Amino acid sequence: MATVAVQSLISAPLQIPKITQFKIGICQLKVTTEKSANIFNARSLIQAAAEQGASLILLPEMWNCPYSTDLFAKFAEDFSDIDSAPSLLMLSEVASSLGVTIIGGSIPEKDAGHLYNSCPVFGPNGELKAKHRKIHLFDMGKPLPGEVQFKESDNISAGEKPTVVDTDFGRIGIGICHDIRFPELAMSYSARGAHLICYPGAFNMSTGATLWELEQRTRAVDNQLYVASCSPSRDSASSYMIWGHSTVVGPMGKIIATTGHEEAVLIAEIDYAAIQWTRESLPLESQKRNDIYQFVDLLRESLNS
C-alpha cells in the first residue's frame, strides 16, 4: 500500500487581494441541444453581465450541453487544445475582449480516453488560469419520488485534486455541483485562504428544493467566506429537471442575491471587508480545539494543487 503524506491543515492568513469590492455576474443560462447556440447564448449573457458592471463572471454546470450522461462525450472538448475547443475558445476571447475573469461553469472534458466534468477559469488576458475536475460524482441510490435514475460515474471520471486559483478578486475555491455536499472540501479551501467559493451546479427538483440554498448558506457561514452558485435555467433541454435559483451568499450566511428558475443574469456586490468583520466578531479559528480534533489534508502539494 502506498504511503500518503498527512498534514495538519493550518489555516493560511487571509491575504488582501488587489480588488476587495466588485460586482459578480451569475449567468443562469438556458441550455439547448445545439452546442453552437449554447456558446452564442453564453457569450451574450457574459456580455450582458459585463455591461452591468460585473468584473467576475460565473457560468453554470454543463452549460454547453444538456445535462444528460449520454450526451457528454458528443459535446466534450480537449482542454489542452483551446483553438479546437469552441466553448473554451469563446471564453478565452470574451474574457480578453471584456477584461473580465470568468469562472467557466463546467463542460465535458475529454482527456486520454476519459471524460471529466471540468470547470475552466480564464483571466482577463484570456489565458486559462486553472481547471477543476469535479471530485464528487453524483450517483443516485434509490431515486427520489418523481426523479429519474442518474449515475454520473457511468460516463464521467472523478477529479483527484481540489482547486484554488489566485485572481485579482482574491483566492477562489472551485467546486462543481455535488462537491458542495462535502464540507471537507470547503474547509480545505477556507484553510488555504479562499475569500470566495464558486459552485456551478445543476441540482434537480428534489435536491434543489431541499438542499440547494441550505448547502450554500452552510458552507458560507461555517467557513466565514462568500459562496456563489450558478445553475442552468429550468427550461434547459434535458429529461433531468433542473432547480435553478443561482445565488450569492455572504460570510454570515445571508443571501445577498438570488434568482428564480428562468434564464437570467444576476448581479451582486461583494465586499471582502465583510469577511474580516465576521471573523473578528466571531473568531472561530482561534476557538477551535486542536487538542481534541484536527482536520488533515492528504493531498496538499501546493496552494494551487
Residue 177 annotated among the catalytic residues of the structure: yes
Strands 264-271 and 21-28: antiparallel
* Upper half-sphere CA count for residue 155 (Cβ side, 13 Å): 18
Identify which of 80, 107, 135, 124 has the alpha carbon closest to the alpha carbon of residue 305: 135
Identify which of 3, 128, 116 has the alpha carbon closest to the alpha carbon of residue 62: 116
Helices 35-51 & 86-98, crossing angle to 10 degrees?
20
Geometric angle at alpha carbon 263, from 133 and 86, rounded to 5°: 45
Rounded Cα–Cα distance for residues 136 and 282 (Å): 31
Check: CB of residue 86 under 8 Å from CB of residue 39. yes
Catalytic option among 30, 35, 61, 119: 61
Check: CB of residue 79 under 8 Å from CB of residue 88. yes
Q: Residue 304 is placed in which grid cell? A: 494551487
Rounded Cα–Cα distance for residues 97 and 170 (Å): 21
Residue 173: DSSP 8-state:
E
Residue 134 annotated among the catalytic residues of the structure: yes
Phi then psi dihedrals of residue 96, to 5 deg: -70, -45
Neighbour count for residue 97 (Cβ, 10 Å): 13
Catalytic option among 27, 65, 119, 177: 177
Residue 27 annotated among the catalytic residues of the structure: no
Residue 82: DSSP 8-state:
G
Catalytic option among 30, 134, 198, 230: 134
Check: CB of residue 57 under 8 Å from CB of residue 28. no
Q: Which residues are catalytic?
A: 61, 134, 177
